[in-house]
């Protein structure tokens, strides 16, 4: 699918990036043995060094996918970088067979490219082309299927037709007997000329197959179900005859992730439990999926998908932006900026004009600093903690019937504390005993009110008494009033 595919490309004259095989498919090393693993790493590093090249590339495993089993190697002449890239792939795949180095495309140009996917059904290339946008880990985020007449938005028509011929030649040479997906990179080189380089083939339908399948309908108007079709074929049922869809010339397959993207394409994934989706149902969404349960950081971070159909690129962008504004996953846990970022992507001028390359999905976007806060966030982050823990420590929900043991203990402790309060002589005491003048008493009172703002001494006893008489705390109203009077006087 990868090393073999690139060799077939060379045989039929289809363009593919320069590559060096580090280990064949039948080369196995016991990676649990430190000495054997180190010897394997050293061997790979020597093979890379023997290329005598500083052109950036990728260390890849034929068993990888979804960004896993691939490591960037910006300078193959640097042993430290080579070791880091090799060890990353070995750790992720936990196997040493089928490892190769592939040179990156457009390194002499601006480095930008669009990833094109063509589906090949046996020896026949399916209608339309699918373009992919991904994050810095090479994990796909957005896949968009375009009918043949709209592909020119990203590549010249003659190059597209050549790519389809090359794909058919590769399928014939490789004896393809399934619905395979061939991936190529389209870019404008340093001379301003468009090129295409094939990079790999997956001999199975992709998760995003609907982005091409929905461009077709059968005679009864039914959509194409690629996986079901393959099962029927295996049982001897011939494939139905399909024609171009009348309501879909552009099909978006968008992936739901739960994280905070940044402008470098990194996504900081967030924890939580998925309950489902919220928001209105939309007629232009023929397929949607959100798997409930806890978000896993050890498996695929993709949570679900949304498939959107439209009759033009602009209409697709409009519908996608509306979808990501109205539909959201219901998640108990941390919020994320992913939906808002996707909204910003489909409303951005560059993306709508087809100027956002596959490897710069988030590079020029206005990335939200904070996630949106809805009623669930407020209930979860503010209301629930207050109900459980209270405004102050230990004052949360008490499950027992009133008066609870906690309330009785608090009242007993308060009785004891107040009983220990020694009476203190105040200016009013001296005035009542005739040892101080009225002016002395009034002056001391005004000074106290000036320090306390007048509110605590005059209002708190009244409010405390009123609150006690109005609620279930009436049974402790008297001691509560005494408490506030004593501490208020201080």
- pLDDT-derived band at 69, boundaries 50, 70, 90: confident
Q: Is the dihedral of CA 212, 218, 224, 230 positive or negative?
A: negative
* Contact predicate 86/41, CB 8 Å: yes
| Lowest-pLDDT range of 124-133, 237-246, 321-330 | 237-246
Q: Which two tokens stand for residue 437?
A: 């003048």
pTM listed for this prediction: 0.72
Distance CA 415, CA 413 (A): 5
Three-state SS at 233: helix
Q: What are the C-alpha distances in Å from 402 to residues 79, 392, 408?
A: 72, 20, 9
CB distance 36 to 95 below 8 Å: no
Check: CB of residue 457 under 8 Å from CB of residue 463. Answer: no
pLDDT at 17 > cutoff 60: yes
- What average pLDDT does range 84-88 have in this prediction? 93
Q: Which residues pair with 268 in a beta bridge?
A: 260
CB 115 within 8 A of CB 132: yes
- Residue 483: pLDDT over 80: no
Q: Is 261 exposed, middle or buried (0-12, 13-18, 19+ CB in 10 A)?
A: buried
- Distance (Å, rounded) from C-alpha 440 to C-alpha 432? 12
Please give the radius of gyration of the chain, using alpha carbons only, rounded to the nearest integer.
Answer: 35
Give the pLDDT score at 484.
63
Cβ-in-10-Å burial (0-12, 13-18, 19+) of 230 comes to: middle
Q: Does the structure show a pLDDT above 80 at 52?
A: yes
Each residue's pLDDT tens digit, 102-127: 999 888 888 899 999 999 988 999 89
CA pair distance 324, 306, nearest whole angstrom: 10
| Contacting residues for 146 by C-beta, under 8 A, at least 6 apart | 128, 129, 130, 131, 153, 249, 250, 313
């Amino acid at each position: 699918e990868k090393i073999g595919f690139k060799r077939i490309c060379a045989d039929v004259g289809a363009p593919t990036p320069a590559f060096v095989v580090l280990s064949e498919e039948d080369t196995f090393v016991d990676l649990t043995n430190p000495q054997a693993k180190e010897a394997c790493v050293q061997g790979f590093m020597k093979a890379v060094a023997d290329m005598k090249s500083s052109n950036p590339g990728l260390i890849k495993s034929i068993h990888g996918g979804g960004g896993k089993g691939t490591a960037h190697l910006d300078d193959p002449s640097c042993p430290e970088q080579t070791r880091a890239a090799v060890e990353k792939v070995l750790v992720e795949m936990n196997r040493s067979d089928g490892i190769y180095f592939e040179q990156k495309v457009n390194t002499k140009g601006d480095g930008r490219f669009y990833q094109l996917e063509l589906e090949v059904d046996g020896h026949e290339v399916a209608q339309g082309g699918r373009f992919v946008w991904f994050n810095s880990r090479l994990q796909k985020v957005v896949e968009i299927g375009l009918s043949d007449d709209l592909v020119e938005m990203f590549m010249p028509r003659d190059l597209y037709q050549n790519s389809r011929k090359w794909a058919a030649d590769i399928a014939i040479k490789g004896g393809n007997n399934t619905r395979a997906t061939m991936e190529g990179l389209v870019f404008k080189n340093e001379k301003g000329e468009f090129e295409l380089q094939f990079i790999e083939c997956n001999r199975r339908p992709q998760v995003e197959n609907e982005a091409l399948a929905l461009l077709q309908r059968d005679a009864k108007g039914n959509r194409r179900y690629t996986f079901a079709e393959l099962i029927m074929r295996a049982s001897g049922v011939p494939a139905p005859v399909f024609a171009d869809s009348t309501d879909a010339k552009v099909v978006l397959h968008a992936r739901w992730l739960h994280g905070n993207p940044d402008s470098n394409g990194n996504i900081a994934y967030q924890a939580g439990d998925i309950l489902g989706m919220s928001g209105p149902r939309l007629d232009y969404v023929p397929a949607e999926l959100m798997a409930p349960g806890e978000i896993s950081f050890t498996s695929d971070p993709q949570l679900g998908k949304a498939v959107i159909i439209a009759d033009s690129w602009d209409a697709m962008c409009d519908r996608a932006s509306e979808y990501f504004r109205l539909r959201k996953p219901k998640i108990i846990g941390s919020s994320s900026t992913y939906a808002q970022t996707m909204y910003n992507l489909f409303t951005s001028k560059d993306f709508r004009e087809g100027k956002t390359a596959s490897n710069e999905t988030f590079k020029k976007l206005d990335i939200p600093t904070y996630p949106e806060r809805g009623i669930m966030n407020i209930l979860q982050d503010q209301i629930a903690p207050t109900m459980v823990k209270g405004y102050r420590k230990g004052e949360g929900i008490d499950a027992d019937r009133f008066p609870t043991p906690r309330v009785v203990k608090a009242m007993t402790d308060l009785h004891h504390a107040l009983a220990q309060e020694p009476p203190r002589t105040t200016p009013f005491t001296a005035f009542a005993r005739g040892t101080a003048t009225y002016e002395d008493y009034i002056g001391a009172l005004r000074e106290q009110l000036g320090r306390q703002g007048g509110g605590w001494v005059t209002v708190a006893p009244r409010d405390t008494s009123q609150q006690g008489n109005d609620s279930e705390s009436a049974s402790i109203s008297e001691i509560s009033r005494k408490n506030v009077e004593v501490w208020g006087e201080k």
